[in-house]
Amino acid sequence: MYEDKADTAPTVQQLTFSLAGEEYGVEILSVREIRGWSRVTRIPQAPDYLLGVLNLRGAVVPVMDLRLRFGLERESYGDSTVMIVVAVAERLFGIVVDAVSDVVDVDPASIRPVPDMGAIVDTRYLKGLATHAERMVMLLDVEKLMRPEDVETLNTVLPGVRDVEVAA
Amino acid sequence: MGAVDLSQFHKTFFEESLEGLDAMEAALLALDSGSTDHELVHTIFRAAHSIKGGAATFGFADVAAFTHVAESLLEEVRSERRAVDTGLTDLLLRSVDCLRAMLDRTAKHQPAADATSEALRAELTELVEGKIAAAPAAAKATAAPVAGWDIRFVAMPHLLQTGNEPLRLFRELQQLGTLEVVRAFVSDAAPADFAALDPSQCYMGWELRLHGAVARGDLDAVFEWLDGDCELAIEPLAASPAEQAAPAAAPVSSAPSAVVPAAAPAREAAAAGGGGGEGGSIRVGIDKVDALIDMMGELVITQSMLNNIGENFDLSQLERLREGLAQLERNTRELQESVMRIRMLPIGSVFNRFPRLVRDLERKLGKQVRLELQGEQTELDKTVLEKIGDPLVHLVRNAIDHGLEMPAQRRAAGKPEAGTLTLDAHHEGGNIVVRISDDGAGLNHERILAKGIERGLVKPGHQLSDDEVAELIFQPGFSTAAQATDLSGRGVGMDVVRRNVRDLGGSVSVKSVAGKGSTFTIALPLTLAIIDGLVTEVGEERYIVPLISIVESLRLPADAVRKIAGGGEVFQFRGEYLPVIRLHRAFGCANAIAEVERGIVVVVEDEGQRVGLLVDELVGQQQAVIKSLEKHYERVQGVSGATIVSDGSVALIVDVGGVARLGRRSKAA
């Protein structure tokens, strides 16, 4: 999916946001909306980074804290806290970030692979590193954010749960 | 059994059958293009089987008879006794077209069968029976299905302008076999007045005969580029002079109604349209949509009235504001109800098909059946409802055909002569459960096991539990029916049932007692069902307990709860000891009331099991529209879904059975 777009479009637009002083990017085509923080309903037995579910115009949408997902310290949520709603294979989920910055064009050719950082940093959720205006932007792999280990843990707890289709 | 007007379901049958034909066509085309996926054959077979079953139910004998022959042919393909080649897929595709036409005529209350369908049916029958007679020669027989073709080709006047040239076509045809021009004639498009004749136009038609074993597909390939540029009718040539009757029928079918445009575009369109798979549409009566629009209109009027008040508001208008708000509330509620009504329908609309089906089966099999319907008012999401019909038909047919015994046998077994078949629908533990139970002979374990061994599903000498044996009947292609009948068919029923139910996110299981009967249980998720719920507070969170599962709510004194070995807690309720599940512990809620005497115990029941749920407080009752958590997240144990409460936030709905299991597991851990 990503490859196809890279082939046809000269640049990929990324929505950049900041998280703990670093800049991240998420492909704009997967962004559905940006909204302020609102209270969510906690889900029992969910991992700690999964804050709960939110009513998004009638759809019950899970929301995760990206800081917690990356093993960072939790920020308190306030008026400046922003939630980016992304869609992966028709599934919606919200990610809570510190602030949304900009929309930038990234040349797919300039994307560099993430170096192996060993155990210090969790790089599983990154697609690659890009440079924009001499700043490094870490490109988020939203498909991997909700999975795979979520599904795995759930399956061990609930053997009966159907496999969920992972985006192709 | 009162007279049920079956005609109300005709429309559904036609729509479903047409969908089935679309699926068949798509799968046939995929097979034709070289795919070897065995699932495709299953898909085609299932579609044909459903159409046959439906047609038989509604008494469309011609359609049922036609599909039965096609199905027999497909069964040979499915069991790999017949190879798939172009000739076969082509024949089946023509059968699909023919069935479409037959359904169309049936819908218009015209006789379904016509010369084309009869000829095609004869062809299918011949293929099936010929195969039985000369099994070793099968490959040859399918490779040379016809001795030749009669082609009627009438050029449209603009044919030459499209770059097509009849002579080139004839040359191509000649390469396929021996071409004989029976007749060349002037087409009807030719102007009567010679002066009006346009020399750049083509006013010719030909009747051609192509001798030789030419596949229809090759023939179509020749005419592929002439879509819309000619009128084309292709009829197979009779193989032997003894069957000279068939060509006699050919002139009839080359009458304008049967003159078909080149087959290729229709196929392409089908292939293009077939990619979508299961569409997400529901069928809504136009009256319901009109009602919605009416309500929408009222809502707009109310809104503008409120706007008007808001523009120059003073306290003297308070009463009008109140009125307006009350009206708004009423409009909203009505609108909500109508929107819901679009999706929710009582299962009775599916159950109502069965009296007729049961009566026909009784007559056909010489059995006596008493049909009992329960819980017809149970509402189901319309999509679920539409898809549950076929599995239910299969189960009912099976119960009567295989389950219930003949009156004499029943008498000998000390049972009343008339067997009882019960269809029951109700809510249970976050699911809608449909049960089909009969008081017949039960599953014949020996026969199922023997068949399982024969089909290679079970190793000989292997010991299986009763449940495992029962599980065998859900395997594809499994049937103990010795004879293929148009009642229960060839054992496709069970695997289709399971597949269809699974597609809906449900499950199907069977319990059987030898001599006492069997019960099939279909559990379906509620998806968009509405439940009445009790809103409870646990800590700072709110959970909704389905009202239907609540037995009683009570406040217990501190000493009423006893610890039992292993750490579980029980309390006495109406003479029995029930486990207590502290909801805050099961769900990990913070700041909840831990002392039993300060909280409230809600006694709930699921599948006959009762447990007490400890919550902080009861908030009130609410109708909850169930939203699936799985759609965007995952299933959560102990939670059957979510709903939106009045402040716009999400509240989770407690799955009583799941919470009970959660409680048991945490105790075991």
Per-position pLDDT tens, chain A of length 168: 444 444 455 678 899 998 888 889 999 989 999 998 888 899 988 888 889 999 888 788 999 998 888 888 877 777 778 899 998 877 889 999 888 888 988 888 888 888 876 655 567 788 888 888 788 888 888 888 776 455 444 444 444 333 333 333
CB-side exposure of B511: number of CA atoms within 13 Å?
Answer: 6
Would you call B650 and A40 a contact, using CB atoms and an 8 Å cutoff?
A: yes
pLDDT value for B275: 34
Average pLDDT of span B52-79: 84
Average pLDDT of span B81-108: 82
Residues whose CB is less than 8 angstroms from the CB of residue B2 and which lie 6 or more positions away in sequence, other chains included:
B355
pLDDT value for B553: 92
Nearest to A59 among B632, B649, B652 (CB): B632
Question: Considering only CB atoms, which chain B residues are within 8 Å of A43?
Answer: 629, 633, 636, 639, 652
Indicate the burial class of B649 (C-beta count within 10 angstroms; 0-12, 13-18, 19 or more).
middle
| Prediction pTM value | 0.45
CATH of domain A11-167: 2.40.50.180
pLDDT value for B200: 80
First-residue to last-residue Cα distance in chain B: 54
Q: How far apart are CA B109 and CA B114, in angstroms?
A: 14
Choose from A60, A92, A142 for mutation: most chain B CBs within 10 A: A60
Question: Considering only CB atoms, which chain B residues are within 8 Å of A40?
Answer: 649-650
Predicted confidence band of residue B432 (pLDDT cuts 50, 70, 90): confident
Question: Considering only CB atoms, which chain A residues are within 8 Å of B636?
Answer: 43-46
| Residue B254 pLDDT greater than 50, yes or no | no
Measured in angstroms, the CA of B542 and the nearest CA of chain A are apart by: 9
Would you call B636 and A151 a contact, using CB atoms and an 8 Å cutoff?
A: no
Q: What's at B295, amino acid-wise?
A: M
Would you call B632 and A60 a contact, using CB atoms and an 8 Å cutoff?
A: yes
Residues whose CB is less than 8 angstroms from the CB of residue B96 and which lie 6 or more positions away in sequence, other chains included:
B21, B24, B25, B28
CB B424 within 8 A of CB B435: yes
Average pLDDT, chain B: 77
pLDDT value for B133: 44
Q: If residue B454 lies in a helix (H) or strand (E), which one and from where to where?
A: helix B445-454
Residues whose CB is less than 8 angstroms from the CB of residue A37 and which lie 6 or more positions away in sequence, other chains included:
A77, A78, A79, A81, A82, A83, A96
pLDDT greater at residue B382 or residue B309? B309
pLDDT value for A10: 66
